[in-house]
Amino acid sequence: MKIKQLQSILDQQPSVSGNTYFIFIVWGISWLFALVFLLLGIGLLLESLLHYKIFLDTVAQKLHLVLTDEQRWNISTSLGWLSLILAFVFGAMIYICKMVLVRNHFIIQLEEWLISEIKEVKINRKISKK
């Protein structure tokens, strides 16, 4: 590959540094949501399994609702499974974000290596016009 071809390839590629910051924020928020939904799902399923009156009883009192034991069991089971599914979805988001972060890190390292080793190659940063 000639230097001109390499230079044209590098000029056509968008920068991944801004994308990396965004993906890192999504990764952090996904961790937060995954943990919250996992704890909520486990708590609701334990409440339905052991017939405790912890979470739904407090919510029902605040909303002035009267729930029978069967209604409480149905609601806690349904919301528990839904919360676990959402925790799994956010866990998948964590995995996908981590893959993108590793790829972006590799691209940034490769660009830095090319700039340091091949003096004829220059990275032209595109400045956005507002």
DSSP state letter for 65: -
Q: Hey, is 103 helix, strand or coil?
A: helix
Q: Among 104, 103, 123, 125, which Cα is nearest to 114's?
A: 123
pLDDT of residue 36: 97
Domain boundaries, the chain: 17-117
| Pick from 44, 26, 34, 23: nearest CA to 86 | 34
**Alpha-helix residue ranges (DSSP H) falling in the chain:** 3-12, 17-50, 55-62, 69-117
Res 65: pLDDT: 85
pLDDT of residue 55: 81
- Tens digits of residue pLDDT in 51-84: 777 788 888 888 888 888 888 889 899 999 999 9
pTM score: 0.75
* Predicted pLDDT of residue 126: 59
The low-confidence residues of the chain, meaning pLDDT below 50, are: 130
Determine the distance from the C-alpha atom of residue 49 to the mean position of all C-alpha atoms in its chain, rounded to a whole number: 30
The whole-angstrom separation of Cα 73 and Cα 47 is 8
User: What per-residue confidence (pLDDT) applies to 66?
Assistant: 85
Tell me the one-letter amino acid at 6.
L
